[in-house]
């Protein structure tokens, strides 16, 4: 028997539609509310991430970069890292790094900490790295979260503190050694001088060869005593730096005066070329003129010792945009091996042959420059020569006679 749709059926259908529509509206409103809540949470999380000053990188198992935070664009402006390999971005390599902390974190399934050095904008920087495996990847693929924190300044401060402590310790040791040596040295020199005065009485009374030997030996003893005395005096100067006499210093004039003092030493080197490129109207700096001259003398003496006949020494000065000045002393000498360059400013370290120096010239330069709130660095290559750079700050307006920096 055929069934005909009645009015009640139509009313029921419309009622069902209305109920479904109302339920659908409720679901839509719930979804809108959930989306608003999710967006709020997303903004809160993003605000937290933006407040983190460390570089954050999410890496896939193949070390491709999946996500980064805003710090990446500060460190690597103009580079899109997504999909590229971390070792390509950070190391400039085509293969994975040896002993990679991210790989170790994945392999061990634990947090790994490490210290690495990267080249950023032509500068080498120290980074503390924390790699943590992620366990909530939606695809089930293993990922690792990488934190990189720039600790370059911390390392520099630690190195400066270590250097200052070492200099103080070595200074105290040098003072003790100098005093212990000075007393017997004075006695030896005194007796040798007495022998020299009396040895003429032996002339004609002993064999001529014996007389000549006595005279030569006595003069050698006196000569070596004087050399030891100079070493002792250098040790005492190193261990007890004199108080700074601060004033406005013309660095160009210091260089001219120092070159005049050393002109006889330069003449002893055959075909040596000493050239200066001193910036005119170089700003004055606040410092101790005698100490700064000592730095120049030490650097020029080292350049002279490293340069063979026919060599070249170039002295340049220039001002920077902050009002400070930079002194560079270059030579065409033998150069310094890379593996010992970090030790050059350590007390008693020297690359010179035995008897040519005791290794406190550069450490003294380091102390003087640091006391002037400056910086001294070296660039060198074996067979090509060396360049020592001294950067000193300019005079600031607040540095008046009543308010000068404490040195």
Q: How confident is the model at residue 120 (pLDDT cuts 50, 70, 90)?
A: low
Mean pLDDT computed over 206-233: 81
- Comparing 193-197, 214-218, 229-233, 330-334, the range with the smallest average pLDDT is 229-233
| Assigned token pair, 137 | 């990847």
132-155 pLDDT, tens digit per residue, is: 888 765 566 788 888 888 877 777
Q: Which CATH number fits domain 246-392: 3.40.50.300, 3.40.309.10, 3.30.565.10, 3.40.50.620?
A: 3.30.565.10
| Assigned token pair, 59 | 């890496």
CA distances from 354 to 47, 51, 348, 357, 358 (A): 63, 57, 12, 7, 8
Residue labelled with tokens 């070596």: 224
249-281 pLDDT, tens digit per residue, is: 899 999 998 888 777 777 777 778 888 999 988
Nearest Cα residue to 233 out of 407, 333, 360, 137:
360
Q: 132 - beta bridge partners? A: 145
Secondary-structure class of domain 51-150 per CATH: alpha beta
Helix, strand or coil, per DSSP, at residue 400: strand
Give the H/E segment covering residue 246: strand 246-249
Mean pLDDT computed over 3-30: 66
What is the domain partition of the chain in residue ranges? 51-150, 158-239, 246-392
Residue 359 above 60 pLDDT? no
- Comparing 40-54, 61-75, 140-154, 248-262, the range with the smallest average pLDDT is 40-54
Arch. (CATH architecture) of 158-239: Orthogonal Bundle (1.10)
CATH fold match for the domains 158-239 and 246-392: no
Residue 315 above 90 pLDDT? yes
| Assigned token pair, 270 | 């055959």
Residue 352 above 60 pLDDT? no
CA distances from 329 to 1, 270, 276, 372, 405 (A): 115, 19, 9, 18, 27
Q: For residues 56 and 69, what is the distance between their CA atoms, to the nearest angstrom? A: 6
Residues for the chain: how many in total? 407
């Amino acid at each position: 028997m055929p069934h005909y749709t009645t009015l009640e059926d139509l009313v029921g259908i419309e009622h069902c539609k209305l109920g479904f529509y109302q339920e659908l509206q409720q679901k839509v409103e719930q979804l809108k509310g959930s989306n608003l809540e999710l967006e709020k949470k997303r903004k809160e999380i993003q605000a937290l991430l933006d407040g983190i000053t460390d570089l954050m990188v999410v890496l896939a198992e193949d070390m491709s970069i999946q996500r980064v935070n805003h710090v990446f664009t500060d460190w690597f402006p103009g580079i899109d890292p997504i999909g590229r390999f971390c070792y390509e971005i950070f190391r400039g390599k085509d293969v994975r790094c040896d002993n990679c902390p991210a790989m170790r974190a994945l392999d061990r399934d634990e947090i790994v900490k490490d210290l690495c050095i990267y080249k950023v904008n032509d500068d080498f920087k120290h980074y503390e790295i924390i790699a943590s495996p992620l366990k909530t990847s939606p695809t089930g693929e293993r990922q690792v979260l990488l934190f990189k924190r720039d600790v370059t300044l911390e390392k520099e401060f630690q190195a400066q503190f270590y250097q200052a402590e070492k200099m103080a310790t070595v200074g105290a040791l040098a003072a003790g050694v100098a005093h212990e040596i000075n007393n017997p040295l004075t006695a030896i020199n005194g007796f040798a001088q007495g022998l020299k005065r009396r040895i003429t009485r032996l002339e004609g009374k002993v064999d001529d060869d014996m007389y000549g030997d006595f005279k030569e030996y006595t003069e050698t003893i006196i000569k070596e005593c004087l050399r030891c005395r100079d070493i002792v005096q250098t040790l005492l100067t190193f261990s007890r730096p004199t108080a700074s006499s601060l004033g406005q210093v013309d660095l160009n004039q210091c260089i001219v005066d120092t070159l005049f003092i050393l002109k006889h030493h330069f003449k002893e080197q055959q075909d040596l070329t000493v050239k200066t490129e001193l910036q005119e109207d170089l700003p004055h700096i606040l410092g101790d003129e005698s100490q700064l001259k000592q730095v120049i003398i030490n650097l020029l003496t080292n350049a002279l010792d490293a340069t063979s006949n026919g060599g070249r020494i170039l002295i340049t000065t220039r001002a920077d945009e902050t009002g400070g000045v930079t002194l560079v002393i270059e030579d065409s000498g033998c150069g310094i091996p890379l593996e010992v360059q970090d030790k050059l400013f350590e007390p008693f370290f020297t690359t010179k042959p035995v008897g040519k120096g005791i290794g406190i010239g550069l450490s003294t330069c380091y102390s003087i420059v640091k006391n002037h709130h400056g910086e001294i660095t070296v660039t060198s290559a074996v067979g090509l020569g060396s360049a020592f750079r001294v950067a000193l700050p300019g005079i600031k307006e607040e540095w008046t006679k009543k308010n000068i920096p404490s040195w």
